[in-house]
Structure 1
Amino acid sequence: MQTENNDKPSMVMNLAVVLLALCAIGCRETHSLFSDRWQSSPPQTTPASTGTLHGSPGNISKGSSVFLSRKSRDNIGLTVVPLVLTTAWKVVELPAVMVDRPGVSDRGVTAPIDGTIVFIHAFPGTTVAPHAPLFTIRLVSDQVHKSQLELFQATREIDIANRQYRRLSELASSGALAQSRIYEIENQLDRLQATVEAYSQDLVARGLSRENIDSAARGEFVTELMVRAPPDITQSESEPMDSSQSFSFEVHSLDVELGQHVEAGKVLMHLADHRSLFIEGRGFKDDMPLVQMAASSNIGVEIDVDEPDLATWPAFQEKLFIDHISNTIDSASRTFAFFLRLENQWSTYEHMGETRLLWRFRPGNRLRLRIATEKMENVFVLPRQAVVHEGPQAFVFRQDLAVFQRCEVRVLYEDRLSLVLANNGSLHVGDRIVLTGAAALDRIARSQQDSSLPSNVHVHSDGTLHDPRANP
């Protein structure tokens, strides 16, 4: 009897162990079941906003809407703006390049007389103000020395004749001297004065300044000549970034060396003045009517320049007018040229005590010209990255708090920069449309629509695919 009483506790303990084992197995199976269901459901994030949504994660149509929190939107880099109706133009893009404006942009400095370069005052990259010294030339022309000598001699003879005239005028007035003698002296003075003027003009033509000629007339003969920068005669509307700065030419190239003998008329250096440039556009024969209409109707042409340092310059007029159209066609390329006048912008900086120039635009810069052809009114204009394409269909994403609805739209026109959407009721004024990040949203929407992915493959909020199979 005592033995039966001892066996009862052991049976109870065995039964408890079996029940605990069964409970553990059931918990494990339940956890596995719910875990699989959790992994197979599409990823959704909790909205950061506490406002009332037009949709919730349970009510969002699969593949047509994306539900993102504010942090997820920041990770993708979404930019959202309200829609507005506007007027757009169909455009034709033509290639162009910036070139010097003939007779205005660049100019050469020539030697006014035969001589030897004994000093160079400016070098490439430096700036020189108008009338600033550029070269010192030692004169080697015998004709220049002879003209100075003859000028000095004629000037001295005039002084002698004037003294003789004053002395004999008193005698002639008293009757002691014939009046004809006075007439001879006056004629001599006229001849000497004509000689002085002739030699003065000869020296001017050879490059001597009025100060040099006056010095030669006093007997101080000029042996060296200073070549100076030309005056600023360009009527340009361009302005520096600092209005207190005065313009200076920039030395573009130096074409002689120290000690070199030069002849009159030889180019010594080239000075650059890029304040006023030309934009040379190129078009084919089919583009001729369009360009001629834009020129005759004074229609502004939009310029598209790729500027990496755009923020460092002031606002710029992006529409220019055609100045003239070339009267010839290039026989090799079969294209014609047309030109737009461009007023450049510039600034200065100091380097080792010298002033340097910085130009916003330079000859050789390539750009595109956008010429308007057809007007479209009451339309929506969006950048290309705001619209995603799926075959012939086009979609944009419209924001409703944290929900981004995929909306099909009709594209009326598109070019390299933007698209024009029809105002057909699919979108409304004031709708908040995603400008940047639409491609990432589209990838998330596609992943929600694709049910063939394994349960452990999903798309992150930044649009990247998470697939453990790629990293075993």
Structure 2
Amino acid sequence: MRPNLSKLPWAAIRIVMSVVIVVAVGLSYSLWWPPLSGWIDTTLSAQRTASAANENGHAADDAPESGVAEVTSLELTPQARMNLGLTPEFLTPIELSNYRRSITVPAVVVAKPGRSSIVVSSPLNGVVTHVHAVTGEAVQPGDLLFEVRLTYEDLVETQTAYLKTISELEVENREIVRLEEATRSGAISGKQLLERRYAKEKLEAFAKSQREALRLHGLSDRQIEAIGRDGKLLGDLKIVAPDVDSHAQDDELRLSQIAAHPVSFTQSLDTPLPKAHSSEQKLLVIDDLRIHKGQAITSGERLCSLSDYTQLFIEGKAFENDVTAIAEAAQQGWTVDAVFSGSTGQQVVRGLNLAFVSNSIHPESRTLSLFVELPNEMVRDKTNAEGQRFVAWKYRLGQRLELRIPVEEWENQIVLPIDAVVKEGADWFVFQQNGKHFTRVPVHVRHRDQRTVVIANDGSIYPGDVIARKAAHQMQMAIKNQSGGAIDPHAGHAH
């Protein structure tokens, strides 16, 4: 009798079916196990190979292969622009300009020979009665520096002899007038009148020679005439500041009758300065003051020196190999840039004229000297309660700097600051502004130095495009960060 499965409980049916399946799998083991084992081994091996390749070659995978899209544009908020220093002056359209490739040479500020220094000497012997100047004070041509009482015997004797001759001439003239009247009336003969006229001619000849002697001592015609007119000897000498450009101050000695403006004088601060202190005149600084009141001085003795700092020279020292390039720059009339370094950074003075280039090379250092004109600027001008004026100049003798001398000129070039480009591998990039976005654009750098780069005008960027002229390195770091790549702290720096 066959069992009725429909009447068996469901649990018993599951047990029977499980036993049947286990028996069937065991009987067919040799048929299905080898293929399944091979498939499992192949799959595991492929997964291990892919994992190793991903670990070793992850840095070389391109963004599209890794599934991450490369970012080439950056949106900057107004605050971000200010943080990067992208003010309107650093977001300007490209303009074609001429680029001059330059060489840098060390230099120093020096005096202008024959112009920057003036020596004041005593023209005659005497004793200093007053010193109006102080060391470091600023004066102008015509200002009174020293007063001297003359002790020069030859000058005193010549003045005395000339004054005596002038007096004798006056007596002879009166006598001649009297004799002429007497001769016309017949009271005396004409012989006496003729003798007086001969005596007058002799006195006139003496007076002429004495006037020439006084001129040799430094007196002018006006001063000599004053001696004869006033009958007084000139005993006090006033020494004033000379003029660098004009010799009008040196045409005559400043003797006792000549008015001169003293350098130092006491006045209230409300009193206007005399006309001599007009800003239109040159200022001379008193250096090396060597005399004092009561000191006896001799003719030709140095009293002080005055320095004119309004125009100086920069002396550059170029190497012997740069002689040809510097000569070409001088021939072309190209201007020179001076770079001063200080605590606040570098200051560049542009457009200086190359005055001349030395015709000889220093035998020991093998350097060539070149001289550049440097107009100076006054940075301080103060007058104290005693009327003494002190000034300070921007550029000082002995100050060290660098000169940038152009040696080659390229016309119609795209010239940008060095901070406007960034290097990534073999590529150079600039950032072009498109509204709020800054797009990274690859460019070809033809030439670069420490300050500027020359970009090839090959169509990557055009004149008129607005380019960020600084912070290219920071924007490149931001793009790398957005792309998900590791940030290289040295990216964009060329070592």
Pick aligned residue for 1:136 from 138, 147, 153: 147
SS in 2 for 1:407: strand
Asked whether 1:351 is paired with 2:386, we answer: no
Pick aligned residue for 2:236 from 215, 221, 224: 224
Q: What are the equivalent positions in structure 2 for 1:9-408 lying under 5 Å apart?
A: 61-62=69-70, 64-78=72-86, 79-208=90-219, 213-214=224-225, 216-217=227-228, 218-231=230-243, 233=245, 245-297=280-332, 299-306=333-340, 318-346=350-378, 349-352=381-384, 353-390=387-424, 392-408=426-442
Q: Please list the CA deviations of residues 270-295 of structure 1 after superposition, one character each: whole Å capped at 9, or x if unmatched.
A: 22223333333332322222232333
Are the aligned partners of 1:215 and 1:222 in contact in 2 as well (CA < 8 Å)?
A: no
Aligned to 2:266: none
Q: Distance in 1 between matches of 2:327 and 2:411?
A: 24
Q: Name the amino acid aligned to 2:307.
A: A
Question: Relative to structure 1, is the Cα distance of residues 452 and 103 closer, same or farther in structure 2, using a 3 angstrom cutoff?
Answer: closer
Q: Distance in 2 between matches of 1:295 and 1:330?
A: 20
Q: Please list the CA deviations of residues 345-364 of structure 1 after superposition, one character each: whole Å capped at 9, or x if unmatched.
A: 54774422444445454443
Q: What is the CA RMSD across the aligned residues, in angstroms?
A: 3.5
Aligned residues between the structures? 385
Q: Distance in 2 between matches of 1:81 and 1:325?
A: 38
Question: Relative to structure 1, is the Cα distance of residues 332 and 452 closer, same or farther in structure 2, using a 3 angstrom cutoff?
Answer: closer
Aligned to 1:431: 465
Are the aligned partners of 1:215 and 1:221 in contact in 2 as well (CA < 8 Å)?
A: no
Q: Name the amino acid aligned to 2:417.
A: P
Please identify the structure whose Cα radius of gyration is greater.
2
SS in 2 for 1:75: helix
Are the aligned partners of 1:250 and 1:273 in contact in 2 as well (CA < 8 Å)?
A: yes
Question: Relative to structure 1, is the Cα distance of residues 263 and 87 closer, same or farther in structure 2, using a 3 angstrom cutoff?
Answer: same
Are the aligned partners of 1:295 and 1:321 in contact in 2 as well (CA < 8 Å)?
A: no
Fraction of identical pairs, as percent: 30
Give the TM-score taking structure 2 as reference length: 0.68
Are the aligned partners of 2:480 and 2:486 in contact in 1 as well (CA < 8 Å)?
A: no
Q: Distance in 2 between matches of 1:392 and 1:258?
A: 77
Q: Which runs of 5+ in 1 are unaligned?
A: 1-58, 236-241, 311-315, 454-464, 466-472
Q: Name the amino acid aligned to 1:260.
A: Q
Deviation, 1:367, is: 4.0
Q: Name the amino acid aligned to 1:84.
A: E
Deviation, 1:382, is: 0.7
Deviation, 1:226, is: 0.9
SS in 1 for 2:288: strand
Q: Distance in 1 between matches of 2:473 and 2:182?
A: 111
Deviation, 1:97, is: 3.1
Q: Name the amino acid aligned to 1:233.
A: D
Are the aligned partners of 2:69 and 2:483 in contact in 1 as well (CA < 8 Å)?
A: no
Aligned to 1:20: none
Q: Distance in 2 between matches of 1:179 and 1:416?
A: 100
SS in 2 for 1:436: coil
The list of structure 1 runs, each at least 4 consecutive aligned residues, that deviate by more than 6 angstroms after superposition, is 307-310
Q: Please list the CA deviations of residues 403-443 of structure 1 after superposition, one character each: whole Å capped at 9, or x if unmatched.
A: 33333322212223211111122222232221122222222
Are the aligned partners of 1:396 and 1:434 in contact in 2 as well (CA < 8 Å)?
A: yes
Are the aligned partners of 1:303 and 1:367 in contact in 2 as well (CA < 8 Å)?
A: no
Give the TM-score taking structure 1 as reference length: 0.71
Deviation, 1:108, is: 1.1
